[in-house]
Amino acid sequence: MGGAIIVVFCIIGAMIWGIMAGKKRRDAMTLLAEELGLDFHHDRDYQLADRYSFLDKLRQGSNRYCYNILSGDFQGHPISVFDYHYETYSTDSKGRRQTNHHHFSFFVLTLPKYFPELTIAKESFFSKIAQAVGFDDIDFESHEFSKKFAVRSKDKKFAYDFCNAQMIDYLLGHPNINLEVDQNMLAVGYSSCLKVEEIKPHLERLIEIRERMPDYLFSA
Q: What distance in Å separates the CA atoms of residue 208 and residue 121, rounded to the nearest whole number?
A: 17
Whole-structure pTM value: 0.84
The 3-state DSSP class for residue 44 equals: coil
Q: What residue type is 108 in one-letter code?
A: V
Q: Is the confidence at residue 216, as pLDDT, over 70? A: yes
CB 14: neighbour CB atoms within 10 A?
A: 10
Could you tell me if residue 1 is inside a domain?
no
pLDDT band at 200 (very low <50, low <70, confident <90, very high): very high
Does residue 184 lie in a domain region? Answer: yes
Domain presence at residue 137: yes
DSSP string covering 155-194, please?
Answer: -HHHHHHHS-HHHHHHHHTSTT--EEEEEEEEEEE-SSPP
Q: Evaluate whether residue 146 is within a structural domain.
A: yes
Q: Provide the pLDDT confidence category of residue 199 given band limits of 50, 70 and 90.
A: very high
Question: Which pLDDT value is given to residue 175?
Answer: 87
Q: Is residue 213 part of a domain?
A: yes
Task: Confirm whether 5 is domain-assigned.
Answer: no
Q: Domain residues for 48? A: 38-219
Condensed to tens digits (0 to 9), the pLDDT of residues 82-140 reads 999 999 998 877 777 889 999 999 999 999 999 999 999 986 433 333 343 334 689 89
> Is a pLDDT exceeding 70 seen at residue 1?
no
Asked whether residue 181 is domain-assigned, the answer is yes
Number of domains in the chain: 1
Q: Name residue 199's amino acid.
A: I
Judged on CB neighbours under 10 Å (0-12, 13-18, 19+), 145 is: buried
**33, part of any domain:** no
Which of 144 and 124 is assigned the larger pLDDT? 144
